[in-house]
Amino acid sequence: MTDLTDLTLSETLKGLAEKAFSSVEVTTAYLKKMEEKRHLNAYITETPEVALKMAEESDNRRANGQAGKLEGIPMAIKDMFCTKGIRTTAASRILSNFIPPFESTTTQKLWDAGAVCLGKTNTDEFAMGSSTITSYFGVTKNPHDETRVPGGSSGGSAAAVAAHMCAGATGTETGGSIRHPASFCQVSGFKPTYGRCSRYGVIAYASSLDEPGVLGRSIEDCARMIEVMMGHDPKDSTSSHRDVPAFHTMLDKTIKGMKIGIPKEYTELVPDNWEKAIQFLKDEGAQLVDIDMPHTEEAGMVYYVVSQGEATTNLARYDGVRYGVREEGKTLDEMYMNTRMAGFGQEVRNRMILGTFFTSAKGYNDYFVPAQKMRSLIKQDFDRAFEKVDVLFSPAVPIKPFTIEEAKHGAAKGRFNDNYLMPSCLTGVPAGCANNGLQVIGRMWDDATVLKVLDVVEMMK
């Protein structure tokens, strides 16, 4: 029999439906693969007992004709999603002992659809980083070259997918944290339009930017997962009421006649397969249009001001009083100080200090307000572009994964690390990365077209 972990999520669903194998069998295969590849450090918390129990329950539902959309599929969950009764750390010491008494909306939707929880994957601490180097639990290794990072912050999820340690995984994006590791690990990643997936129960970094999303071995796999995770949630005031279509049925393998924009600011540096990709789109019948996105260069600065300002507020709740790690002190103020100094890593502390300045009386008017104004101009760039084209096309990350040693010495701060990713996060538009490192960005609420084009892009050999 073919190794069950070599099957894509879609192939696994087909095999389960045809009773070629059971969820218990495929879950057991993934648990064995997780054990074999534990040295990659893709998971923070493994949940084998939970997984096997869920798989057994899944097989019973299928036998009774009650199979859900993801019935029996073993999945990994980024450790930013609260999971009831399962440790949730955000890769931080301050939450290293936190076991949530509730479930995030998106993971609950996965379990309701029949998915199986294999465990919680590594991430940069509070999703602040692009290499997993800031994780309290250590860096994750890239399965394709273990001397290199997997990208981040959803690096554990991307590595787990690439190493066949799960059939699919959740991730989160604030400044590109799904597409970045998808590119580095040669897997597919997708972030929907802001508001499509509930943020309830997802540990907050920057609330106006954070978006749950998915990583898989193909865009079809991503489409199957994300359509389950989407939908209105009364617990999230930014949650959309829009209907959620069956995205995986809309992947018709054609882009003939579509207008695809090529932003010149997103092609200053390109990967080796870029020219081949451009020719492929032409051969598939697409019309390529040059697009100008004049405020791209400012996106990085805007992102850091906005995200760090919001992070300061969101991380104020971690004080050692109600949950998480506590470091004692002689006074309440000293306990706060000791807890936060010992609980947060250096990168998180740096961002909180800057965020506090950006939202101070002086910094707010000098930095935060201008950043929000520039954010509006970046959105206008997208609005004008989508008057001319259906989607935008570019590399996701035009550089190769840096080594772990390079990451420790600041390689992740490079200009092209996430220059092509941040603008779409600031504007909330849907975007994804194909498993060949190429990116598609769409207009607000048009997630279906983004997935459709990405699915065709993955046909390029």
Annotated catalytic residue, options 78, 109, 141, 191? 78
Q: Are 257 and 288 in contact (CB under 8 A)?
A: no
The C-alpha atoms of residue 193 and residue 211 are separated, in whole angstroms, by 8
23, 130, 177, 240: the active-site residue = 177
Per the structure block, which two tokens stand in for 400? 């190769």
Task: Indicate if 253 belongs to the active site.
Answer: no
Is position 240 annotated as part of the catalytic site? no
| Distances, alpha carbon 357 to alpha carbons 289, 365, 456, in Å | 42, 11, 45
> What residues contact 4, with CB distance under 8 A and at least 6 apart?
12, 15, 21, 25, 26, 29, 30
- Whose tokens are 């390029």? That residue is 460
Query: Active site residue: 10, 131, 135, 153, which one?
Result: 153
Amino acid in the structure at residue 215: L
Residues 6+ apart with CB under 8 A from 53: none
Torsion of CA 104, 204, 172, 195, to 10 degrees: 70
Q: What are phi and psi of 214, to 5 degrees?
A: -140, 160
Identify any residues that bridge with 376 across adjacent strands, giving them in sequence order.
none
Token pair of 130 as six digits: 């692009």
In whole angstroms, what is the distance from residue 435 CA to residue 349 CA? 34
Q: How far lies 338's CA from each of 62, 153, 458, in Å?
A: 51, 26, 50
d(CA 299, CA 425): 10
141 is catalytic: no
Active site residues: 78, 153, 177
